[in-house]
Structure 1
Amino acid sequence: MSTLRKRGAGLRKVKTGCQTCKVRKIKCDEGRPVCSRCLSTGRVCDGYGIWGGGGNSYASRYNTANKENVPSPCIKQSPSSSVSKDEQSYLHWFKLRIASSVAGWFGSRFWALTVLPALSTEPAILHAAVALSAAHISCEFGGKISPDVHERFILQQYSKAIHYLQSAMLHNDRASITIVLIACQLFTFLEYLRGRSKTAETHLRSGLKLLRDLHSSRSVEHFGVTLVKASPLARATEVAILESFGTLHIQVDLFGRDMADMNILLQPMQVELPQPTFSNAQDARGCLDKILHGILLISQRLRTVGRDTDDYARLVRGREGALSQLDAWHEIFAKTFPGFEKSLLVHGNISFADLPCSLLLNYHTMATIMCKGALPLPESTYAAFTADFLSILDSSVILFNAYSVAQSLPEGLDRANTIVEFGWIPPLYYTAIKCRVPRIRRHAIRLLDRVSYKEGIWDSLLAASVARKVMELEEQDSACERDVQHDGALDEVCGMGAYSPVTLPESSLFHDVHVEMRDEAMSRARLTCRRWRSDSSLEVIQCCWDGESWVHEDVEEKDMD
């Protein structure tokens, strides 16, 4: 038996080795980022699938020494456009308010490295930024400006940006493609801000397809997921663009939106996490994003792949690898920010500067629950994660209190309403959807519903409405509503002993919650929920949100698939 175990372990190691060693059918030592066998023989190591790695390409061998000194690309100069007085004022607003607010809690590199430098050289980016700025002002001061006049101005700037883009696309060189990708991002943010979700997703899909085609020579297919790998010599601008598109892609996936034709991993999970510490919170967030994106795609594939297939076995191993990555990330986080978690536990409050760390822990906890729940297990299994959901709720209350203080300041808080970056909504929404403790679910929904808050595609009020509807549908035949108390303070969380899961029949719990924006309005959405009946047949429930109430719809036969 022991001999068999050793032999099996050896086989498993070959199966999980780099792609090059698999093709050569030799044992891989699984060195990171490049395995020793490939390095010693001068071969190109093709890495470890969605777990990143790979390298030793012929270009990188000759350029590694100068890699750190490669300057960011200068975006191609274009004839400067004449900027009107109105455009100047909106441009000033963009630089003053938007470029800082969209960077969010962690300071996204996309805006500093790509957008701001391009404003002075690229008319297409300038007019796209002016349109975005006008839409942002319209959201902040909607009642104080003429909507018709403002909308005409936005469309005028939109048209100008597209006009200049058409000229750039004629060149079809790398610098022009960079401009197109930046503009595509700005258009996506603009449409989300205007409440035109379908148009925004059209821009997002276009950008993702362009990135996939641009990096096709380095892309790899793994069980239905296209891994878009940037060159080892990719410059800061290219990396920032990939990261920004990756963030938007994660947001769409987290909200249960259907982009099945876009199974693209823009941020391959790098097993080689920095040691011994992260350089800062932004570095920690970037690493966690990569792991989370992989978990989301693995979870999607696990729901569609047959259990008896080789793909399923590989996905299960991938899930186990993700859990190891999450553990490693947490260890490095603890070394980077020593004493933070203990202080949070003891004092129950933190300084404003530490809020990004609290947010990171919320996402780490959510990612861990998602990864552990990725296998097709009963939905009641989530009762085992009550302590984790309570941790998310506790941290969210701290973030909520900080938000409330920031809103009371004369200048408000630029980071309170970000256009694209992650904030506190997704982990809280996930808690409201998946937690099996009625009091925790209701507390999470009340927090979401308390203030109107936007993060990219996320709207706190819509998220609260969706979560409340899901909860009502799951609990409609139980006594939860009658038994749960609603008089708890919004800014306080009780100890673990005050919360206990409620056992609902498995046939009441949804395994899939899908949200589709409708009618070009963010307040209108279609909710599709799926669960297994007690006789193992599939039940699909659809209803639409008109901004005030939910209206149930008949389910078409194709929706039952």
Structure 2
Amino acid sequence: MEPIEEATATTREKIANVQKRQRRKTPKVRSGCITCKIRRIKCDEGKPSCLKCSSTGRKCDGYTSHPGSNHNTAIDTAHQTATTSDVGLPMLLLGVQPHINLPPYRWNLTEPEKRSIHHFVHRSTKDLTGPFQTQVWGSYALSLCATSPAIQHAVIALSGFHERFCSPITAVASLQGCLQHYHKAVKRINSLMDEHNHKRNSTIQEIVVACAIFICIEILIGNDVAALTHLEGGLGILRQIFSTETSSTSLTPDPQVLDLRGLFARLDLQALSFVGSRPSMEPLRAPTPLPNPPASSLYRVLRRAHHFLRTTAEPLKYTDDIPSVAFQERELHLADLESWYQAFKSQRTYIKTPENIANLLVAYHSTRIKLLVCLGPFEIAYDACSTNFRAIVEAADCILASRLPSCLSGDTKYFTLEASIIEPLYFTSLKCRHPQLRRRALSLLHRSGKEGVWDGSVMAEIADFIISIEDGGTDDSQYISDELCVEESKRVHGTAVQIDRVAKTVDVKCSLRSESGVWRFRSAVLTW
């Protein structure tokens, strides 16, 4: 296996060009909440929670009983441990091991590094996990921090990049520090791979977790190509693991590796939906069940359906003679989807939160629509799917509402690695011609933040452009009826985009087709 590239050219240039800065010395803050002390910023001392914390989506950990005291009892208690929820008890416990399943371990961290771990525990783990029940961020990554310098550097870098993305105005993490920790993490992971130790299971997990972190970092800094490189590296390692386990019946798959496999399977599906040129490989059937049965079983169905859509349905969509076997295969995928849905309805009471349920429903309804229309050439076929489109919008509204506490301030943004509502809302904005429902989806899309490579604000600009083509530039105020009023010849069939995240432009090309089959094209360069 080739070592992971140390850094992209862009990243290396940033490391070389960022000038070292000396932090201006200021008097130590003796008052204020515990969280602001950790962050080393001036607290406004609001009660019960200070504004500096609540406005940035952090949990304010309150005030010590003796704000003027100078001792640090919590840090001296080196043999205490805490779960990710306990770490808020006091956050000075960040001086020790912040995970329940590890032996007592003192981290030798600087104050800025402690503050980065604080942000990772309180904000990053929740946002990155999204509506899924994966333990990769809140458990495995934190566990490895205690024993792996590579993962510790990677987590600190990810925390800083995440903070800088979500709170660009108030972020304390420096670009220089983030890049340095990222560079150190990549070097250490390369060393592990060069030493050929990757056959040890623990080291394999370390490398795969690092791949997941590196994917996050590259997406946050706008380098989708490098993120795909890390994704391919992680998928390659996991394929090796499971091909070995398939040939040996005596091996019991590690639950952590299974959870990592689930994460990378979802990231692979996300990449397939975003990158039109990415080839779809025949999905492997796992020999053992993955964790979180309702979600994992759905995503197996989705992955197989997506493979059918890309490899069979797309080439046949506009042909005159579609073989009957294609329709038969489509019916099998629809039947699998319906079987999952019936099982889901009997299990939904066991799913933890409404947003977890809503996330599964969004994926179910959007895939069902795509399967129903995939073998017909007419866009009007989408009009029969209004019930599914409405279900997508309602579920997305529920998910977005659950994110609001993290995004109350106008200068903060939301990021999660997991794809959830942006692609389905974008799809709904393009293909649902119900005037009010379409614009409701577009409104939600504008506020949806960023999910992996899917950027809600960018996709909303594209969708707005497509809607303007189909509506002929008509003022929105005229669309107050519930009638579907876009003629077939005015409907956009395909939309291809080329996004430049540095220039903040997107090159859009779309195709329209008359009822007689004559194609015409429109293009534009949009900014956001």
Give the TM-score, by structure 2 length.
0.69
**1:381 aligned partner, one-letter code:** A
Q: Give per-residue Cα distances to partners, 1:4-36, cap 9 Å, x unaligned.
A: xxxxxxxxxxxxxxxxxxxxxxxxxxxxxxxxx
| Identical pairs, percent | 23
State the shift of 1:285 in Å.
2.0
Spell out the pairing of 1:120-269 with structure 2 (5 A cutoff): 120-145=146-171, 150-170=174-194, 171=196, 172-175=198-201, 176-212=203-239, 215=242, 233-255=252-274, 257-261=275-279, 263=281, 265=283, 268=285
Long gaps (5+) in structure 2: 1-105
Q: Provide closer, same or farther for how the CA distance between residues 145 and 241 of structure 1 changes in structure 2, counting only shifts above 3 A.
A: closer
Aligned residue for 1:153, secondary structure, equals helix
Q: Provide closer, same or farther for how the CA distance between residues 434 and 311 of structure 1 changes in structure 2, counting only shifts above 3 A.
A: closer
- Which of 286, 289, 293 does residue 303 from structure 2 map onto? 293
Residues 393 and 444, structure 1, Cα contact 8 Å, conserved in 2:
yes
Does residue 117 (structure 1) correspond to residue 143 (structure 2)? The answer is: yes
Q: Distance in 1 between matches of 2:451 and 2:441?
A: 17
Q: Give per-residue Cα distances to partners, 1:284-320, cap 9 Å, x unaligned.
A: 2222222122222211112454699x99765544322
State the shift of 1:502 in Å.
1.9
Match of 2:482 in 1: 499
Q: Distance in 2 between matches of 1:119 and 1:324?
A: 44
Does residue 365 (structure 1) correspond to residue 365 (structure 2)? The answer is: yes
Q: Distance in 1 between matches of 2:451 and 2:248?
A: 27
Corresponding residue pairs, total: 419
Q: Distance in 2 between matches of 1:229 and 1:238?
A: 16
Does residue 474 (structure 1) correspond to residue 470 (structure 2)? The answer is: yes
Long gaps (5+) in structure 1: 1-79, 220-227, 341-351, 486-497, 548-561
Match of 2:62 in 1: none
Q: Distance in 2 between matches of 1:153 and 1:106?
A: 30
Match of 1:100 in 2: 126
Query: How big is the alpha-carbon RMSD for the aligned residues of Structure 1 and Structure 2?
Result: 4.0
**2:147 aligned partner, one-letter code:** T
Q: Provide closer, same or farther for how the CA distance between residues 150 and 431 of structure 1 changes in structure 2, counting only shifts above 3 A.
A: same
Match of 2:451 in 1: 455
Residues 135 and 194, structure 1, Cα contact 8 Å, conserved in 2:
yes
Q: Provide closer, same or farther for how the CA distance between residues 260 and 397 of structure 1 changes in structure 2, counting only shifts above 3 A.
A: closer
Q: Provide closer, same or farther for how the CA distance between residues 213 and 516 of structure 1 changes in structure 2, counting only shifts above 3 A.
A: farther
Residues 129 and 137, structure 2, Cα contact 8 Å, conserved in 1:
yes
Q: Distance in 2 between matches of 1:287 and 1:339?
A: 15
Does residue 381 (structure 1) correspond to residue 412 (structure 2)? The answer is: no
Spell out the pairing of 1:42-53 with structure 2 (5 A cutoff): none
Aligned residue for 2:147, secondary structure, equals coil
Match of 2:432 in 1: 435
Residues 295 and 370, structure 1, Cα contact 8 Å, conserved in 2:
no
State the shift of 1:542 in Å.
3.9
**1:233 aligned partner, one-letter code:** T
**2:337 aligned partner, one-letter code:** L
Aligned residue for 2:174, secondary structure, equals helix
Between 1 and 2, higher relative CO (CA 8 Å, sep ≥ 6) is seen in: 1
Q: Distance in 2 between matches of 1:197 and 1:229?
A: 36
Aligned residue for 2:129, secondary structure, equals coil
Q: Distance in 1 between matches of 2:325 and 2:456?
A: 36
Q: Give per-residue Cα distances to partners, 1:224-252, cap 9 Å, x unaligned.
A: xxxx9999832212211211111112223
**1:543 aligned partner, one-letter code:** A
- Which of 481, 495, 513 does residue 513 from structure 1 map onto? 495
Match of 2:525 in 1: 544
Q: Provide closer, same or farther for how the CA distance between residues 372 and 174 of structure 1 changes in structure 2, counting only shifts above 3 A.
A: farther
**2:459 aligned partner, one-letter code:** A
Q: Provide closer, same or farther for how the CA distance between residues 388 and 185 of structure 1 changes in structure 2, counting only shifts above 3 A.
A: same
Residues 516 and 526, structure 1, Cα contact 8 Å, conserved in 2:
yes
Residues 291 and 322, structure 1, Cα contact 8 Å, conserved in 2:
yes
Aligned residue for 1:512, secondary structure, equals strand
Q: Distance in 2 between matches of 1:405 and 1:144?
A: 17
- Which of 529, 534, 558 does residue 510 from structure 2 map onto? 529
Q: Give per-residue Cα distances to partners, 1:310-335, cap 9 Å, x unaligned.
A: 99765544322221122112212221
Residues 512 and 530, structure 1, Cα contact 8 Å, conserved in 2:
yes
Larger deviation, residues 111-120 vs 319-328: 111-120
State the shift of 1:218 in Å.
8.5
Q: Distance in 1 between matches of 2:382 and 2:249?
A: 37
State the shift of 1:188 in Å.
0.8
State the shift of 1:535 in Å.
5.7
**1:169 aligned partner, one-letter code:** M
Q: Provide closer, same or farther for how the CA distance between residues 287 and 516 of structure 1 changes in structure 2, counting only shifts above 3 A.
A: farther
Aligned residue for 1:436, secondary structure, equals coil
Q: Give per-residue Cα distances to partners, 1:472-491, cap 9 Å, x unaligned.
A: 22333x86857413xxxxxx
Q: Provide closer, same or farther for how the CA distance between residues 430 and 90 of structure 1 changes in structure 2, counting only shifts above 3 A.
A: same
Residues 131 and 154, structure 1, Cα contact 8 Å, conserved in 2:
yes
Q: Provide closer, same or farther for how the CA distance between residues 93 and 248 of structure 1 changes in structure 2, counting only shifts above 3 A.
A: same
Q: Distance in 2 between matches of 1:130 and 1:509?
A: 47
Runs of 4+ in 1 over 6 A off after TM superposition: 228-232
Q: Distance in 2 between matches of 1:509 and 1:269?
A: 40
Q: Provide closer, same or farther for how the CA distance between residues 105 and 166 of structure 1 changes in structure 2, counting only shifts above 3 A.
A: same
Q: Distance in 1 between matches of 2:123 and 2:341?
A: 33
Match of 2:13 in 1: none
State the shift of 1:121 in Å.
1.6
Match of 2:56 in 1: none
State the shift of 1:541 in Å.
4.0
Q: Distance in 1 between matches of 2:349 and 2:142?
A: 35
Q: Distance in 2 between matches of 1:319 and 1:533?
A: 26
Residues 299 and 371, structure 1, Cα contact 8 Å, conserved in 2:
yes
Residues 161 and 217, structure 2, Cα contact 8 Å, conserved in 1:
yes
